[in-house]
Structure 1
Amino acid sequence: MTVDGTEVLIEARGLRKVYGKSGSGFTAVDGIDFDVRRGESFGLLGANGAGKSSTMRMIACVSPSSGGSLRILGRDAGSDGSRIRARLGVVPQDDTVDTELTVRENLLIYGRYFGLPRAEIRERSDRLLEFARLTEKADESVGALSGGMRRRLTIARSLINEPEIVLLDEPTTGLDPQARHLLWERLFQLKRDGVTLLLTTHYMDEAEQLCDRLVVMDAGRIVAEGTPAGLIRHYVTREVLELRFDPAERQTLTEKARGLVDRVEELADRLLLYTDDGEETLAAVHGRGIRPLTALVRRSSLEDVFLTLTGRSLID
């Protein structure tokens, strides 16, 4: 199958995942449709419990679907799981590298799982160590590595079989900003090399940086799909004006601000005014005699889209 002349590597139609007895179980994924095309970076966004991980496990062919169809690399995920897995790279949310082995040994042993010749594993390991910027750490114990280094090793290990698709579950969770940006660089390089990426993330800035297209999931369903820029244009205004007030005055000044724009969102510590021209709206705020403690005009982001679609309530 192709879309706009590009081969589709993952095709889901009416995909479902139900845990427990049929009819009385919990529906984690509730009939979703999406395509992932060769060479793109595709994101699954959603709060905890939205169905992202269940979807990823079905694509990784480690959890059978409960309904619908799922084709990966032209094969049926239900009947050709082992053949599909041989062409996938999987980066789980938690690093599973062996801390008692050296960095290089982790790659060498993992390569044997795919039945690769020893000489080829060694050659690929050298290239992957360079890719992950771990050449100088090759003979050190994994236990001595920083969190960012372990994450890069986990990604390098997932590439030992030269996969066509790499699945990344929360790839930068827990990393400091420097480690995150270095990891982004490595993922950009993979994409330039033609590897198809499918990732979940809780970081909206990461999704904006890495994803060509994405879907937003909520309660097991897809509630939006598109490019990051397209979703921002469709669901929110071009800019957001953030106003912070003294708690004692916030309610009174909030009432004064209403009607300035079509959408006003009241939070515990600030007021958000969604507008196409933040500076013009700020001038109108001052014109009504409203004097916030601070005022910030910023461009709308994917986080604004996400919270618009899924709400701000915490889901356990």
Structure 2
Amino acid sequence: MSGRHVLALIPLPAATLDALRRDYTLHYHPDGWAGTFPAGVDPANVRAVVTNGSTGLSDAQMAMLPALEIVSAFGAGYENVDVAAAMRRGIVVTHAPGANAATVADHAIGLLLALARGYAPLTEAVRAGRWRTSRAERPTLTGARLGLLGMGRIGRLIAARAQGFDMTLGYHGRQPHADAPGRFYPDLTELAADSDFLVIACNGGAATRHLVSSEVLQALGPNGYVVNVSRGSVLDTQALIDALAHAAIAGAGLDVIEDEPEVPRALLEHPDVLITPHIAGRSPASLIAQRDALLASLSQHFAYVPIEFAVRAA
């Protein structure tokens, strides 16, 4: 076991760390690898890296690990792992598709309800003694129009939950899906214009950076809400701040921020913005599923058998 050195570059649950330490020589550096190589680790020994979509692993970092054989993303996302470089170097990349999808979908619906019904500002109003003056009507989800940016595992689960509210569904993605619920919109701005709520549930990365732009937010309109449970890079933060400042949209629910954990004060102080600290995918069940996928991938790799959750070439 001692010859199987694993470098973990992200925070991991205690049970996952225990499992890794049982079967591997673990080097745990939860703050990542910024600039210099993590202290106390011989890069020539590292055969596996555990990371995630946000932290990733670059071609330059792979080049510093001559024994590297496998990069495992803890979770579904792997957008900042240089997959092309890994494949060129003969390095396997794995992830945990679908492990946290249901939890993310639950979180998205929770943000939609909380925004529409005003849970946070109304709680503050009651605390401030404004019970009688804070009882104006609020929008609800039932019968509303939901636009989904992304119709993958998470998008489909959000759609299924939304159907329980009799919401009208539309979605935008790279292509339509014959078995997907709702209408496909080839143009995201048109989808936003036809939506009361816009939920971002697509992949991150360069291809989707700032896909939700000022134009999209303007189309969503002054009664519309945007929710992001994807990656912070998909939503243009400055465009969002400007839209909120000019009441171009009604509010936002954000589990991810472009420069997280730094959050612009304008968002923190806005009464109709809800922010959670990138935990949409975190639940006991999802973390167990992610742990099991990680351990299975490492075990399969070192046993020289096919890896179930390997990322395939595009």
Higher strand share: 1
| TM norm. shorter chain > 0.5 | no
Q: Which structure ranks higher in relative contact order (CA pairs < 8 Å, sequence separation ≥ 6)?
A: 1
TM-score by structure 1 length?
Answer: 0.28
TM-score by structure 2 length?
Answer: 0.28
Which structure has the larger Rg over C-alpha atoms? 1
